[in-house]
Amino acid sequence: MRTGFAMAVVTIVVGAIGVLSAQAPTQPLDDARGKPLHDAQYPDVDIALGAKLYGSRCITCHGAQGDAIGGVNLRSGKFRKAITDRDLATFIRAGSQSAGMPPFALDDTDMAGIIAYLRNMNTFDTATVKAGDVVRGRAIFEGKGACGTCHRVGRTGSRVAPDLTDIGSVRSAGSIQRSLLDPTSQMMPINRPVRLVMKDGTIINGRRLNEDTYTVQVIDDRERLRSILKADVKEFTISKASPMPSYKTLSSEELADLLGYLLSLKGQ
Amino acid sequence: MARPRRLVACCTVALIGLLSLRLQGQVTSQRLTSANSEPQNWLTYSGNYSSHRFSLLDQITPANVKNLELQWVYQAPVAGNWQTTPIVVDGMMYITQRPNDIIALDAVTGRLFWIYRYTPNPDRIVCCGANNRGIAILGDTLFMGTLDANLIAVDAKSGRQIWKTEVASTTAGYSITHAPLIVKDKVIVGVGGGEYGIRGFVAAYNVNTGKEAWRFYTIPGPGEKGHETWEACPPKSDGFCDPDAWKHGGGSIWMTGSYDPKLNLTYWGVGNVGPDYAGAQRPGDNLYTDSVVALDVDTGALRWHYQFTPHDVYDYDSVQVPVLVDNWGRTGIDALVWANRNGNYYALDRATGKFLLGRPFVKVNWMSDFDERGRPNQTPQPPGQPTYPGNQGGTNWYSPSFSPRTNLFYVSAWEDYASIYGPSPVEYRQGTNFTGGGPRPFGPVPGAPSFQRAPINTWTESAGHGAVLALDVATGDQKWKFAMTDVTDSGILTTASNLLFAGGREGYFQALDARTGALLWKTNLGGAINSGPMTYRVGNKQYVATVSGLSLFVFALKE
C-alpha cells in the first residue's frame, strides 16, 4: 500500500476531479540525468488526473485493467521500450505505427498525470478515493483554521487575503493542497504583499491588486482600496513570502476535510 | 501693358492650379522614393522605403511636448485588437479597420469622406487576431490585402473598388494581414498562415490590372536552391517524420518589407516554419523560414538570404520590418539592421547579405554564440525548462524605429520572458491548425489560474516585462532603457526633434527623449496600443496619431 499521506487520507472521487483539468500540478518527468523517479514521488493529484485521462484516452484499447492488448500489461508499471519517464513521454507523444498506437499530443501537465497513473496503476483504486468531508472542512475553516481572519467566502470573512468564494473552480486540488502546506509556493505574483513608504513618510501595507508602470493598486491592511502613484513613493517593497501560515499542524484527516471544503467552493 | 498683366494672371492661375494639384495630387512612384522630402505626409506603412518610422517634422519638441492636447478621436465600430497604421497624403488620412474596411478622413478634423467595406469570405481561416495593418497608395489608388487572401485596388477619391485579385486560397489557410509595398508599377504582398501549413510566398502584381508579375516561394520546391535544407527523413525515425514537409512548411509573410532603390532590392522577413514546434518531423534548416530574403524588385529573383533561426522550434517568426541604414557605423556599408523575435540584434550588408553583427538584446538561452558566417550555435534547453526569449519573442512584429539624428535603433522588447515548449507530432490537414504542440508561459505557480495581462496584470514582474530599448545601431550596445511593468506590442516613432513616441498594453501613450529615454509626456488612452504611432502635418500644425484600443487618437500642440 502506498504510504503518501494524501493517498491514505485525502480521497478524491474521480468524478469530482473535474477541477484538475489542465492546470493540475506537474512534476518533473525525471531528473536531469534521466534517472527514473521512484513512485513515491508522484503526487496523488497527478495520479488522480492521470486516472481520469486514462479513462478517456487509453481505456478503449488498453482496457480498464491495462491488459486488454496481448503482451502488454500496463499495471506492471514496467515497459520494454520506456525505462525512464522521459522515454515513456516520448513514446506516448510519438505513438507506435507498428503497434497501431496513435500519437497523443498531451501537454506536460497531462503527460505528468498519465505517467504518474501508469507508474501506480497497480495500487491506485479509484473506487476508494473520495473527497474529504465538506462539512467538517468548513468547521475547520471557520474554527480551528481561523481562515476567515484573512480570507473571505461569500459575504463572510476578511478581504485582506484573496477571496476564496470560487477557489474550487479556479485552482487545482494539488495547488490548493500545496497552498495549505507551503503557501508561498502557490502565491500568485499579483497577490504579493507590498509595503510602500511614501515620500511624506506614510507607510502602506497591503496586498497588490494591480500594477502598471506609473501606479499600483492595493487593498491595505484595513481593507481600504488604495491607488498610489509611484512618483509619490520613496520605497516600494514586494514580498515573495506569503504571510499565510502553513497548515502542516493539522492532522491528515483535517487537511483532507479542509481541502474538500475548499474544492466545494465554486462561486456564487 | 494689358498683355503682360494677362500673362501674370494666367501664370497665377496655372500656379494655383499646380499647387492645388500638389495639394491633392497623385502619389507618384517618385514621391514614394523621395518620401523624406515631404515629411508632412506619411506615404507608406513605415514612413519611407527604408522603414525608419522616423519623421523630419520638428514642431513638437522635447521642450513643448508637454503641451500636446487631443485634437480628435475616431472610434471604430468593430471590436478586437486593432493594429493598423494610417497613411496621410496631403491632408487626407486613409486607415483600415477590422475586418477589411478602408476609411478616408479629414486629417485635421477626423470627419469621414467615405468608407469602403469589404466582407471577407466567411469560411476564411486566419490565425492570431485576424488583423489588417494598413494600406498602400500609388496614384489615386489604394491597395489592401484581405483576410481571405485577396488583393484589392480602391479609388482613393470615391472609395470604389477598381479590381480584385485572388492571391491564394483562404480555405487552405492563406490570408493577407500586412500593408502592401508599392514599388514602381508593382504592388507587393505576401501571405500569412504559418500556423496552418501553408507554403508561403511573396508576390508582385501590376498596379493597374492586378495581374501577377512574379512570385517567390519562401519554401523552395524540388530543384530549387534551398530545397536541400528540407532533408529526407532518416530511415528509422523514432517519431513521426514527414517526407513532404516542405509542401506545408509555412514561411508566412505578415509584415511589410522595405526597398532599396539603389540596389533595386526589396527585403522581406519570413515567418516561422510549420509545424512550429515539432522539429523532428521536418529535418534540416528549413529555408527560407525565419530568414530575410532580398529579392530583385523587377523579377522576384532571390539575390541573397540570411536565416536567423535555422530549424526553428520556438516560433521565432522573422517578419520584423527590415530597417535600412546607410553608411552603417561609418564603415561605408549600407546595412540592414534587425531586432529579431529570437532575441538578437543583427546587422547585415544589404547588398550581399554578409553577416556583420549579431548579439542579444534580451536574455537568450536557445543559442550561445555565432560562427564567423553568422550561424547560431543552438543550445536547446532540457524538456520542462524555460527557453529565453519565450514564444512571443524578445520583440515581435512591433515596428522599430531608427533615428539618423541619434544614430540609435529603438525596439519594443519583452525582457526576462520565457516559455516552456511541449512539441508533439502533428499531421498536416488542409485548413487545420498545424503547430505541433505548444508553449506555456514560464510561471512560478503551477496549478494556479492562467496569467493575464491588462487590464489586471496578474503576470507582474514574475514572467517578464516590456521596455523600449535604444541600441547603438553599429554595435547593438544598449544606450538606454525605458522599462514598463506590463509587456508592450507598440511600434515606435521618432522625429527629427529627438522625440520618441510609444505605447504599450497598459494604454499609456508616452513621449520620451530619444537621446536619453527620459519621460517627457504621457497620457492614459485606456486601451492597449498595438500599432505604430505616426506623424504628419497639415498647414502649420504637426499631428501625432496612434491607435489605442478601439480608437484612433490624434494629438497636436495647444494653440
Q: A159-218, pLDDT tens digit by residue? A: 999 999 988 767 767 778 889 999 998 898 899 999 999 999 999 999 999 999 999 999
Task: Report the 3 state secondary structure along B264-306.
Answer: CEEEEECCCECCCCCHHHCCCCCCCCCEEEEEECCCCCEEEEE
How many Cβ atoms are within 10 Å of B414's Cβ, its own excluded?
28
pLDDT at A44: 74
B290 catalytic residue (yes or no): no
The residue type found at B309 is: T
Check if the beta carbon of residue A106 is closer than 8 Å to that of residue A92: yes
Nearest to residue A260, comparing CAs of A10, A5, A7? A10
Check pLDDT > 50 for residue A29: no
Q: What is the rounded CA–CA span in Å between residue B348 and residue B328? A: 10
DSSP 3-state assignment of A129? coil
pLDDT of residue A268: 63
Q: What is the pLDDT of residue B503?
A: 97
Neighbours of A233 (CB within 10 A): 16
Measured distance CA(A29)–CA(A156) in Å, rounded: 41
Q: What is the pTM of this model?
A: 0.82
Which residues in chain A are closer than 8 Å to B279, comparing Cβ atoms?
none
pLDDT digits (tens, 9 = 90+) for B156-192: 999 999 999 999 999 999 999 999 999 999 999 999 9
The reply to whether A254 touches chain B by the CB within 8 Å rule is no
What is the predicted ipTM?
0.90
Half-sphere exposure at residue B231, Cβ-oriented, CA atoms within 13 angstroms = 12
Element (H, E) at B546: strand B541-548
Question: What was the pLDDT predicted at B135?
Answer: 98
Length of chain A: 268
pLDDT band at residue A220 using 50, 70 and 90 as cut-offs: very high
Please pick, among B285, B315, B317, B486, the residue that the annotation labels catalytic: B315
pLDDT at A144: 94
Residue A60's contacts (CB-CB under 8 Å, 6 or more residues apart) are none
Identify the sign of the CA torsion B340, B346, B351, B352: negative
How many Å from the N-terminal Cα to the C-terminal Cα in chain A? 40
Phi, psi torsion values for B43, nearest 5 degrees? -90, -20
The grid cell for B323 is 530597417
Cα-based distances in Å from B201 to A102, A106, A196, B251, B416: 33, 32, 54, 7, 33
Q: Which amino acid is present at B523?
A: T
pLDDT for residue A34: 28
C-alpha cell at A78: 514496467
- Find the length of chain B: 559
- Cβ contact (<8 Å) for B422 and A108? yes
Mean pLDDT of successive 10-residue stretches along chain B, which has 559 residues: 49 45 73 97 98 98 98 92 96 96 98 97 80 96 97 98 97 95 98 94 98 98 97 84 95 98 98 94 97 98 98 97 97 98 98 98 98 97 92 96 98 94 85 80 65 75 92 98 96 98 96 98 96 97 97 97
pLDDT of residue B458: 80
Measured between beta carbons, the chain B residues lying within 8 angstroms of A209 are: 456
Residues of A in contact with B449 (CB under 8 A): 23, 170-171, 188
The angle that helices A108-120 and A85-94 make with each other, rounded to 10 degrees, is 120
Residue A28 contacts B where some CB pair is shorter than 8 Å? yes
Q: Give the model's pLDDT for residue A117.
A: 82
Which amino acid belongs to residue B176?
I
Min Cα distance A255 → chain B (Å) is 18
Q: Does the beta-carbon distance from A93 to B440 stay under 8 Å?
A: no
Task: Tell me what pLDDT residue A71 has.
Answer: 63
Residue of chain B with shortest Cα separation from A103: B425
8 A C-beta contact, residue B315 and residue B380: no
Any alpha helices (H) in chain A, and if so which ranges? 5-9, 44-57, 59-62, 85-94, 108-120, 134-142, 167-170, 173-181, 183-186, 252-263
pLDDT of residue A9: 29
What count of Cα atoms within 13 Å lies in the side-chain half-sphere of residue B443?
A: 22
**By a Cβ cutoff of 8 Å, what residues of chain B touch chain A?**
238-240, 382-384, 420, 422-426, 437-438, 440, 444-450, 455-463, 483-486, 504, 506, 508, 522
Bridge partners for B294 per DSSP:
B267, B304
Tell me, what amino acid is at A182?
Answer: D
Task: Provide, as residue numbers in chain B, all residues whose Cβ is less than 8 Å from the Cβ of A25.
Answer: 446-447
Does the pLDDT value for residue A1 go beyond 80? no
Residue A90, strand partner residues: none
- Asked whether the beta carbons of residue A214 and residue B508 sit closer than 8 angstroms, the reply is yes
Contacts of residue B485 in chain A, CB cutoff 8 Å? 211-213
Does the beta-carbon distance from A187 to B445 stay under 8 Å? yes
Is there a contact between A22 and A110 (Cβ–Cβ < 8 Å)? yes
Q: What is the pLDDT of residue B344?
A: 98
Q: Do A94 and B522 touch (CB under 8 A)?
A: no
A104-125 tens-digit pLDDT: 877 777 777 788 888 777 555 4
Evaluate if residue A19 carries a pLDDT over 70.
Answer: no
Instruction: Give the model's pLDDT for residue B145.
Output: 98
DSSP A35: P
In which band, very low, low, confident or very high, does the pLDDT at A135 lie, cut at 50, 70 and 90? very high
CA distances from B45 to A52, A232, B32, B87, B433 (A): 52, 40, 11, 7, 30
Closest Cβ opposite residue A93 in set B424, B447, B456: B424
E-strand stretches of B284-386:
291-296, 302-307, 323-328, 333-339, 344-349, 355-360, 367-370, 376-378
Q: Does A177 touch chain B (CB under 8 A)?
A: no
In a mutational test of the B interface, the residue from A190, A191, A192, A262 whose CB has the highest number of chain B CBs within 10 Å is A190
Cβ-contact A27, A86 below 8 angstroms:
no
Q: Could you tell me which residues come within 8 angstroms of residue B164 by beta carbon, excluding any fewer than 6 positions away?
A: B150, B151, B152, B153, B210
Q: Is A185 on the interface with B (CB under 8 A)?
A: yes
Name residues 56-85 of chain A within 8 A of B (Cβ).
Answer: none
Listing from the earlier edge strand, what are the strands of the sheet with B291-296? B258-260, B265-269, B291-296, B302-307
Report chain B residues whose CB lies below 8 A from the CB of A107: 422, 438, 440
CB pairs under 8 A between A and B: 105
Residue B404 CA to residue B158 CA, distance in Å, equals 38
Please tell me the distance from the alpha carbon of residue B514 to that of residue B58, in angstroms, as a whole number: 13
- Other beta carbons within 10 Å of B370: 16
> Facing residues of B323 across strands?
B337
Beta bridge partners of B308: none
